[in-house]
Structures are given as structure tokens and as C-alpha cells.
Structure 1
């Protein structure tokens, strides 16, 4: 799975440096292959290609861009099996989840943007002004390792539909699936320079993109600390920034909730992708009258997550992405002072691979490290509350505000959901909607992705004034 080339200007070309980055299989600790360690010089070439392609792509009618995205969807769908397998290898996502989420979700998002683009665009007028929505320009897309194709497509599809051109830097931990996207783009006839791929580290390639004078907008998904650095680099040249950052989401279970379902779904959400999900409901808040029962149910549910080989159909929890990530998560578990009810540091694990056992803590202090820090692993904290007001207060006691959930009678749950300072809330198991806006409050980010709100992030708004009848 080694590749020695970058995708620039519609061609596979040699990078400026012969240096490479090893891509590891986190389940076996073996090297899968290598990708180019791109440099600032490669970013310069990519930006130049994107800049040259921009006028023609921006001038393409939106329906024409939609037709290209439709062809891209077909080419990518034909690779769905390869996508699931590749993500299973480079990230360790269990194959069943890789098929449904890592391959299925980006195809759904891409289909949505292809459909948005081919629809007739409404002309908006305000008084004597015609309002136009124009592409921002060249977009630098810097994406994370946990959903390595979905996070790419959420940015690339929206940007391309809006008429922007893109320089893409995938995570150096999970870069391989991005090559499948570029192969599909080449096959689908995406015009040269509209999509460009530069692999490399954040310190080298990410920093070069964020600070490049030819990049009109930076769209970044990743940690809050790195997002802060990206925002600073872009702010120095007054470039637009969209940031999708960390989360510490609360799952609020009221006393009139369907407790069994709320706990089961909540544990599944917290452990999805081995807990490496920014929207994971890692804080389970339960009314004290049902708290002991919830703790028992959660511990039992956690025991139903077998850890192991992602390609074993019985595996529900794969490895973490790297040794560093495993060690970081284990550090949180080792330092925890709350009551351990499932998993923990002594739970049996495979001899090889970067695994952490599905772990549940009860009686967690809402102000403790467990409840405040984004752990990004299969670790769930359970916290009691005595009233709806207290539940809202605990849920909002976070510097993050990305997602959350509420369970209870519909009217009451909706009232609580409206009080949560977070960008998305699921009520009684409401399904994720890839056409709805996605993004966070507070330190969880700036801007929105997905659907028409995501499209708008990549557009500038222009007012054109006409002389009204009777004016002189």
C-alpha cells in the first residue's frame, strides 16, 4: 500500500523530497506502507494548481459542478469495499462499522452535495439589491485521522459544490484512504487542479497550508489546541477559517426515560470507533432515582464489546490509532479516582496492538479530569443529578459544546435539549442527519459543516445594487 506520488494539477507527480512517512496497522503494530512526507514546496505547487483551476471551476454552472460530483459519487461507491478495508487496516475500525460508517457516511454526504448542486439556485433580492453567493476561492482542507474519508468528503464535496478548489492534507496517521478519493476524482473527470493532495505532517504541510498567502480559506478538523494554531496562522493574513474541534458531550437521562434503551444506545455512542469520535457522549448524566440501575446496565453493556482484530466479524472494539493515543488514554484511566465498574487498566487485552479495554467509571466528579478532558478513547463517565436544572448545569459545565443527547418524555426532553449549549442534540435516539448543520459552540469550533449550511461556509456573499425606478 506504499505510494510515492502526490496528486497535483490532475496528475500523479513526484514530491519535492524523497522522505516518506510510515503508515502503521494499529491492530498488529506492523507497517502497512509509506506515503510521501510532503513539504512547503509541495504545498506551493498544490496552491498554484488550485489557483490556476479556480476561475474555470468557479465559472462552471452549479449544476455542472453537481454533475461532476455525481460522477465522483459513482466512482467512489465502486470503491466502497476498498474504502472499508483500507480504514480497517490504517485505523483499526471493526469491519462492520467501517462498511456502514467509514465508507457509507461519506457516500451519503457526497450524494447530498451532488443533489444540492444540481438543484436550481434561487435568486435573492432585497430592495434594489441582488444577492449573489460566490465561491471563497482556494481552500486548504486539513483533516483528522478518526473518520479519514468522511471528514475529507464533508469539506471537499461542499467546497467543490460551492465552486472552490481544494488543497487537501489528510492526517499522516490515516492517509491511505485519501488516495482512493483522488483516484476516484481522476476517474470521474474532476478538472485538473480542482482537487490536490499533499500528504505530510501537520508541522510541515499543515502549517504551510494554514499560513499560505494563496489559500483563501482554511477548513480544519482536529484537536482544539491545533485548531487554535491554525486560526492564528490564518488570522495573520485575515483568511477565513472553519474549525471543527473537540467535544465532551453529555447524555442526559431523565427520570421518565426508557432507561434500558438510553443506557444501551449511550454506551454504544461512547464506544463508537473505539471512543475516537468528537461527538461521543462520554458523560452519562442519570437522575439519582435511577442511577444505580443505570450503572449496572452500563457495566453490563460494556462487557458486550469484544476487543480484537477489526477483521473478525465478532469484534466490536478495535484498537486506538497509535501507541501515543493508547498511552494517552491509559493515562486518564490510571489517574482516575472515580469508581471503576467495567474495564480498566487490568482488563485482559490482545498481546499486540494499541488496545484499551471498554471502561466505565461511576460517581465521577463533574469538575474532575475524567469529566472535563476529551479522552478520545473507550472511556465513559457516569454522573448523578437530582433535577433538570442540575442536569443542564452539569452538561453545560464544559469548555466544549459539540453534541449531546436527552432521554425522557418528548416535551420535557426537548425543553432540556434547548437549554444545552451545544451544536447538536439527539432527543430519544434521534438519528444523525447528514444534511443538517454540524458544528460546535464554545471551544468546539467555528462554523458549520454538512448540507446547505456547510455549503455556505465556502461562499462569499455579494450585494449588487440597481438603480430603482424613479431614482435619479
Structure 2
């Protein structure tokens, strides 16, 4: 058994310090089920110390020019880019994504966003509008509390922390306790880069303790949360007591509309990929595939054949496309949804419970056909490699089914006519729509409608979430 890494210190005021609590949390490799590290189980007084450090650092950090802040972020970007392979190995072991995918997705995307926010900090015009005798200026909101999830543990940290830093805010971060090691690797880089003390502070721990303390703290001006809709609602309730701004990026149950004039084989093949990315542990996963009812058997057959090529394997194996789920809890959750789909009468075309591994939190590619709108697997976010195929009668019916959800985070539309595809995309009540397999854009605004969240992340829109608007009348 390999040595267990000790990361039981928290980062406050530019130093790694002991937690006030004496508890620790075990970090488990999801492929081997072995404990690989321990982190601190933070307590409320740790949050108090971190917030105090962030509050003390805020005046000086916010007073810097955008170019001065950009210089710090640029140094962090340079250091991180020099350690891509090391960071990839850490995140792959941390949360289970195969190395070949983790490098471009789990590391490549966030490093691109760090560089983008370094550039934005230096070019964004904070004093860009005059209305008559009024000068409208944008100022950093203050101390930001950031609470991040385990499925893209570095990317979600970067979208919050580096946008806030670029805006001139200081940050108290609670990273996921499930896959925290990549965040610690980033903080080591931040520390080496010489970010001023207190600008970024990190307290590990559980959501009901550390997360709630951050959301409730009167000296935290804004809280930005990514996670489940249930937990996001709790963050909003707690934050409301001090009337602080809340940004929420929550769940999804996104529909992929394959219209009757689309290339069915191409659309289904791409749709399977957008469902199974990161073993389905993706809030934007296109988990509901809508196809013309008369072509349902054909679509299901194509999907099953394509899905079989999504090889389940250890993250270190070159051919692996689906690594383990992040935890035993998540594995049990996904299996229970498969069982529920069978019980409610959906046709199980490919069964992911049969994957050949006795160790590790694996679930294989799973395809359901003849799914109806009222079934649990068509309504609830599963967060695993489970695709539900639903038949529709016509275009209006497809749009109705797509919008018949409490969520509105992502979606897809396929058509042989790009203009028709875009017109249908505009009818979908969701924050992002992929048209004919469009590529993900790391600079474009990201966020949801309805119970998928409040606010936007990435690019200029993400930066502006952390700014207040002030009117100066002259």
C-alpha cells in the first residue's frame, strides 16, 4: 500500500496553518478504493480566520490596477502550464478520469481559463460608461466565498477564484472534500507565485459546517456555489440572512433534440459522447436523447453499439474511456437509478452494471430506450453514464419534452438545416445549446435557467459576476 499523503493544513493569510479542529477526512482513489491522502476537517473558527484574512487583504488587492493583478495571475498561469503532466496525474487519481482525457479536459480547460482571466484583468475597462452627468463604474464586490464540486475539481475552482481575483476581490474557498488534491496542487502554485497574503484562502471540510459558515458569514459579500440543486437551495437560504449576492451553478437534465432531417448516425454518435463525458459526471451531460418516435428502435441500436466502444478501465490504461465514478456513494446512486429505470418499464438496451470490475467504483455505459417523460430516469439528474432515449411526434412535441424539466442548463439540437437547428435552439429554455455538435467554448458565458442556477461563469460575463455597479453623479 502506498504512503498516505498528509494535506491536513489549511491555507490562510498566505501560509499553510493548522486547523482549529482535530478531525481529518480521508481521500480515496476511486479506482483502487485505497486511501491516498487526508485533509483537514475544517471548523467554523477556521472560516472566521480565513474571512478575516481576506477582509484585511481586500483594500490593497482591490486598489491595484488591472494590469498589476494580471501580472500575478500571469505568473500563476505560467507555473501551472509548466506542470501539466504532474497536475494531470493528480486529478486523474483524485477523481478517476482516464489520463488521456484528464489532460485536455480536467487540466487543459482550467489552465486556458487562468490565462484568459489574467488577460482580462489587464484589459477590462472598469470605468466604461457615462450617462449624462453620471459616471458608471464597476468595482469588486469584496470578499467572495467559493464552494466547489468534485466532478471538475480544478475547472470549477478556476472559474470562481480567478474571475474573482481578476475583478479585484479576495476569496475564501471551500474545495470539494471528495477530490481535493488538485486544488491543493493549485494553491501550492499560487503560494510559489507570491500572491499577496490573504488574497486567496482555503478551508477544507464538509458543506454543512464549512460551506454553511462561508455562506452565512457577515463579512463575506458574495457566495459562488457549484453543486447539486438541493445544496444550492440551502446556500441561497443561508446567504439570504445577510442579503449577500449569490451565484449558483446547479444540476441539469439536458435534452438532445435529433430532428427528423438530421443524420441520425452522426447525431446519435455525438450525443452518446456528450452524455458519457467524465463517466457521465457532468452537469451539462445530454442525458435525454429525443428522436422521432418511428426511428426510436434504430436510434437505440446505434446508441448501444456506439456505447459499447466506451471502454471501462483504470485511469492509467491508454484505452480507457470510462474511469470509475468518484466514490462508492456515487456508484450506488447510479446503480439505483438503473434499477429504477428497469422497474418503471424502460427498455434496458445496454446494462452498465455488467463491467467486469470487482474493485473500484465502476459503472459501465448504460442505454435505455422507450423512456417516457414521467419516468424517474427522464426527470432526475443521475450523474453517471446513463442515456435515456425518448420518442417524440413532431418538432413542437420535441421542444415541449425538452422544456418539460425543472432544469435548464444545457441542450443539443441536430438538423440537416443549420438555420432550422438554430431556430429550435432558441426555443429551448436553457443556458447553453450545442447545435450540430458545436464545440464547447471556454470563453463563452456558462450557466442555467430555472433550477439550474443563477448567474454566469467564464469570460467577461464571469468576471462581471464579481463586480458591483456604482453611479457617480457629477
Give 1:82's aligned residue.
86
Matched, 1:142 2:150: no
Confirm or deny: 8 A CA contact 1:349 1:355 kept in the other structure: no
Correspondence 1:105-254 to 2 at 5 A = 105-119=109-123, 121=125, 123-254=128-259
Q: Secondary structure at the match of 2:319?
A: coil
What do residues 41-100 of structure 1 show as CA deviations (whole Å, max 9, x unaligned)?
A: 111110010000000000000111111111111111122212211111111011111101
Preserved CA contact (<8 Å) 2:27 2:178: yes
- Give the whole-Å Cα distance in 2 for the aligned partners of 1:148 and 1:314: 23
Q: Does 1:355 align with 2:362?
A: yes
Q: Aligned to 1:435, which of 427, 432, 443?
A: 443
Specify the alignment match of 1:5 in structure 2. 9
Cα pair 1:219 1:241 within 8 Å, conserved: yes
- Match of 1:149, SS state, is helix
- Once the two structures are superposed, the pairs formed by residues 269-308 of structure 1 within 5 Å of their partners are 269-308=274-313
| Alpha carbons 2:355, 2:363 under 8 Å: kept | no
Conserved? CA contact 1:144–1:221, under 8 Å? yes
Aligned to 1:426: 434
Query: Do 1:349 and 1:356's aligned partners in 2 also have CA atoms closer than 8 Å?
Result: no
CA contact (8 A) 2:10 2:16 kept: yes
SS in 1 for 2:183: helix
Equivalent residues, number: 465
Counterpart mapping for 1:318-467 below 5 A: 318-336=323-341, 337-345=345-353, 347-408=354-415, 409-466=417-474
The residue that corresponds to 1:32 in the other structure is 36
Deviates more, 1:437-446 or 1:281-290: 281-290
| Offset, 1:3 | 1.3
Contact 1:83 1:102 in 2 (8 A): no
| Structure 1 unmatched runs, 5+ | 467-472
RMSD between aligned residues: 1.0
In 1, Cα distance between equivalents of 2:383 and 2:221: 31
Native 8 Å contact 1:349 1:357 kept in 2: no
State the 1:18 CA deviation. Answer: 2.5
User: Within 2, Cα distance between the matches of 1:367 and 1:11?
Assistant: 52
The whole-number CA distance in structure 2 between the counterparts of 1:371 and 1:443 is: 16
The alpha carbon displacement at 1:33 in A equals 1.0
**Which 4+ runs in 1 deviate beyond 6 A?**
none
2:76 to 59, 72, 76: 72
User: What SS does the corresponding residue of 1:192 show, helix, strand or coil?
Assistant: coil
In the alignment, the residues of structure 1 paired with residue 445 and residue 75 of structure 2 have an alpha-carbon distance, to the nearest angstrom, of 25
Deviation at 1:120, TM superposition (A): 5.2
User: Aligned equivalents of 1:88 and 1:255: distance in 2?
Assistant: 39
Q: Distance in 2 between matches of 1:360 and 1:120?
A: 46
Output the CA distance in 1 between the equivalents of 2:199 and 2:76. 13
Residue 48 of structure 2 corresponds to residue 16 of structure 1: no
Segments of structure 2 that go 5 or more residues without pairing to the other structure are none
Pairwise CA distance, 1:265 = 1.1
Cα distance in 2 for residues equivalent to 1:120 and 1:219: 21
Cα distance in structure 2, aligned partners of 1:344 and 1:313: 21
TM-score normalised according to structure 1 size? 0.97
Aligned-pair CA distance for 1:425: 0.3
CA distance in 2, matches of 1:355, 1:39: 33
Q: TM-score, normalised by structure 2?
A: 0.97
CA deviations 1:320-343 (Å, max 9, x no partner) are: 111111101100101112001112
Give the Å deviation of 1:116.
Answer: 1.1
The Cα shift of 1:432 comes to 0.8
